[in-house]
Chain A
Amino acid sequence: MKDIEIRKKIESLLATQMLAVLSTQKNGQPYVNLIAFAMADGLETLIFATPRATRKYTNLQEESRVSLLVDCRSNQQSDFHKASALTIIGQAKEADQATFESYHPIFISHHPYLRDFVLSPTTSLFIVSVKHYIMVSHFQRVLELHLTDETDLFAR
């Protein structure tokens, strides 16, 4: 397996999926939501939007480190050998006006039916800078693609 091969697989999965599970936390309590996302600037950046009155928005104000899950399961038995799942480790930052202007068209082109939602003054766009991807395929084969020169976040 070469870097380029796994990059292609990850890009393909991100390009074909609409939804991700976003994990935030508050006071050590994990909290997950289903969110609409889009890939921007290649694998380095993902974007999602959320109303500001939500728990995830509150959580993100206190802890910007996030994890997301994107997968291609179909809720069939065949998922066990066919499906791939991608765990994403990164940092989410609320977009300022300039960032919003450059990124929200990408989000809308991916989710045109969410135009009103993303343009609402009560919605914030978040930019996730991805540190690394963890790709699971063949049920238990796990490969990681590290985009930054980080130390092992999960080392014991």
Chain B
Amino acid sequence: MKPIFLLDSHLGSGGKEQLGGKADGLQKLLENGYTIPITACIPCEVYDAFIDTNDLREWIQLELNRKDLAHSRWEELWDISLRIRNRFLRARLPESVESELANFITQHFLGKRLVVRSSSPEEDNQKSSYAGLHRSYLNISGIDELITQIKKVWASLFSDKALLYRQELNLEAERSVMGVVVQELIDSEISGIVFSRNPTDDSQMVIESVYGLNQGLVDGQIEPDRWIISKDNGSLIEYQEAAERTLMAVPVDRGVSLVEIGGSGGAEPPLAQERLKIITTVAQDLERTFGCPQDIEWTWADGQLYLLQSRPITGLHGGDANDKRAWYLSLTRSYANLQKLAEQIQNQFIPEMEKEADRLATRVLGVLSDQALADELKYRQKRYEHWVSVYWDEFIPFAHGIRLFGEVYNDRMIPDDPYEFVSLLAGKKLLSTRRNMLMGRLAARVEAKPTIRDQLLTGRVDLVKDPEFLPLFDTLMSEFGNPFNLYNIGGDTEQQANRKLLGIILQYAELSNFPLSAPQERSEVLEREFLGRMADSAYPFSGAEILELGRASYRLRDDDNIVLGKMEQQLEVAAAEGRKRLLQNGISWAPQLQVMEIIAALVDKESAKRQPLQKSQKVSGQQSPLRARQLIGQPASPGIAKGSVRCIDSQLKFEEFQAGEILVVDAIDPNMTFVAPLASAIVERRGGMLIHGAIIAREYGIPCVTGVYDLTELVKTGDIITVDGYLGLVTIQQSNG
């Protein structure tokens, strides 16, 4: 089979295994006399040749089987996808294929702008129509760019979305393949989609339309006009006009941009009655031809209707309420959306949250009655829950800014290390590193004046007479509070919490070198190179803009937790006051009570006294015959370290952490990373290259492995382990029994 050939009405169907779903559908449209743009297909066997020439098949398998994907978070799937994509971009097509492609494009598409679309044999069948899991690229010109986009389409076989739906897609690296559709780009006046059957009402069909290319509609960036049509007689049931009709997607010099429609162009709906009727008829005919309801993309140019694709309608997302995959997919945001989010987070949410935490901190709780304290706790719990919900709805999606930057960086730079981009984001003064730096400066005062050490050992900061120490300590407290208050499960007094924090500062003072952020010379060189390569790119943003967005996203990913932590501290301060009062009333188990229990107990102390806490049964410690020798995670920060493990478990006894130990945690958040400068390595069960443990480890240049899924089950405090941050391995050298 040739590596690329034109679809034509005489080719004959039945070649879906080689053509892939999309090309097969287009072939059938041709056979049935419909007009489609000039379309060529790169069959699936070219994908196979590419994979085998570059020895990628087993490499992909190793990536996918590093651990059971069922134990992987979406972030880890994204990481895998990024590594595969980068490896594809660095790989070469077989020379003969490259030259045949070049000749073919010159012969059939000379001077035309192109569209490159995925065409997987698994997609677009009646059981599954996984729109959007694989990729398409518009307005491509030149053979080099075409080849790059073909590789990206192939890599999208393993996109994060495809990996999420791997079971439904029957995705297996051993046999899954991808064809590619290459089409001329139709510079359309209007475009749209039609569902020959309304997914919510069998008796209707739905037509949507926008001015310009379909891109704006399918990306969700432009709201379309919508017509609901009766399937019985083709009559209009309902017309939903777009709220505003001002933008259209058009091909620009490179890529596609959203531009103002201009003049009175947007005054009328894109589809007039006559064309509406034609599309209705086409949809009915295609449903009959293919024997099932169709999802059809169409476009109109120079008076001609072109069909871009027709595929069966199937549901992407099941009705399972526990299926969070659609939510993960919703985290992928456009540049424009992320920019808006950045502005909102930086200028509205963070300042509001800080202001609220500061306001709460000024309230004197000691003077409140028990009832008033219970009300205050209720209020603080409610406000904290509010901010947690903002965190999930707004802050977490904004973290996609890092990923978007990473993808753009890798596309332009094609680096050997797919995480090279992180070095351009790191070292930009995170709140957590500022907090640690303040603690480091306090430690430097202890080093300079050894008498401070003895004073601090009492846990009373007010005894320290050093003129620099106290103002620094006040700054630390006012900016960050005492992180030990945040996890005040044991009901510590302020002095006890301070003693724990001061203990950490004293340990900082013992460090021969306080870790500084990783050197930045290299990242400055890379930054210049990246900005240079972005100069003639087709993105709807400049290099500086996307870098700024990436940096804001990286910084806020850490900082938002710190600010949220301040709200949590204020809740905890009130809870601590409640526990203290309950203790004074003879409720000895008060230190173990949670916020809602404290509220109930404050209101009705007598009942609370009659309801002793159910003590959890402690499981007797019999040594398991199962021992881990070596566990696999992701290499999240390079380096190697051997040392004794300190597991920070749910008791969160950070004060026990000793300098030089290896921090082993289920999941770390920035409010806990004050121990990072003391750690010789960090290992985290939660996976991902961009999670907080990985971020702080890279900031300090210490090895880090993330995504070791049974870590806390198999590694215990006191074990001697080696952490290999290059390969993502944790080797247990000596078990503590």
Instruction: Please list the residues of chain A having a beta carbon within 8 angstroms of any beta carbon in chain B.
Output: 1-3, 6, 77-78, 80-82, 134, 138-147, 152, 155-156
Contacts and interface: CB of A to CB of B under 8 A. Distances in A.
Closest 5 CB pairs of A and B: A142-B630, A81-B65, A142-B629, A77-B58, A81-B61
Interface stretch (B132-140, B365-373, B620-628): B620-628
Given A1-B710, A1-B713, A155-B734, A139 B627 contact: no
A138 B67 contact: yes
Interface string B62-88: 101111000000000000000000000
Interface in B704-737: 710, 713-714, 727, 729, 733-735
Nearest to A140: B632
Interface residues of B, number: 26
Nearest to B64: A81
B734 A3 contact: no
A78 B628 contact: no
Contacts of B734: 152, 155
B57 interface: yes
B626 A142 contact: no
Given A141-B631, A141-B632, A3 B65 contact: no
Interface string B203-229: 000000000000000000000000000
B174 interface: yes
Most buried by A among B58, B67, B625: B625
B489 to A, nearest CB: 29
A140 B64 CA distance: 14
B496 to A, nearest CB: 38
A57 B710 CA distance: 42
Contacts of B626: 1-3, 6, 143-146
B58 A78 contact: yes
Contacts of A142: 628-631
Nearest to A76: B58
A77 B629 contact: no
Contacts of A156: 733
B729 A144 contact: no
A7 to B, nearest CB: 9
Contacts of B714: 1, 143
B616 to A, nearest CB: 21
Contacts of A1: 626, 710, 713-714
A4 to B, nearest CB: 9
A134 B714 CA distance: 15
Given A81-B61, A139-B632, 11 more contacts: A1-B710, A3-B624, A78-B58, A80-B62, A81-B58, A139-B65, A139-B66, A140-B727, A143-B627, A144-B629, A152-B735
A106 to B, nearest CB: 24
A144 B631 CA distance: 11
Contact of A143 (B62, B64, B629): B629
A34 B629 CA distance: 26
B628 A140 contact: no
Contacts of A81: 58, 61-62, 64-65
5 contacts: A1-B713, A1-B714, A3-B626, A138-B632, A142-B628
Contact of A80 (B58, B624, B631): B58
Contacts of A77: 57-58, 61
A152 B729 CA distance: 21
A138 B714 CA distance: 17
A89 to B, nearest CB: 12
A141 B630 contact: yes
B62 A139 contact: yes
A138 B624 contact: no
Nearest to B727: A140
A141 B631 CA distance: 5
Interface in B34-64: 57-58, 61-62, 64
A142 B627 CA distance: 9
A81 B631 CA distance: 15
Contact of A145 (B61, B625, B729): B625
Contacts of B713: 1
Nearest to B63: A81
A2 B625 CA distance: 10
Contacts of B67: 138, 141
A68 B601 CA distance: 63
A8 to B, nearest CB: 12
A139 B628 CA distance: 15
Given A1-B714, A3-B624, A3-B625, A138 B65 contact: yes
Contacts of A80: 58, 61-62
Given A1-B713, A81-B58, A134 B629 contact: yes
B706 to A, nearest CB: 15
Interface in B85-131: none
A152 B64 CA distance: 33
A79 B710 CA distance: 24
A2 B624 CA distance: 9
A143 B625 CA distance: 10
B625 A78 contact: no
A140 B65 contact: no
B544 to A, nearest CB: 41
Nearest to B57: A77
B589 to A, nearest CB: 33
Contacts of A145: 625-627
A143 B731 CA distance: 10
B629 to A, nearest CB: 4
A146 B61 CA distance: 31
Contacts of B710: 1
A2 B627 CA distance: 10
A144 B627 contact: yes
A146 B727 CA distance: 27
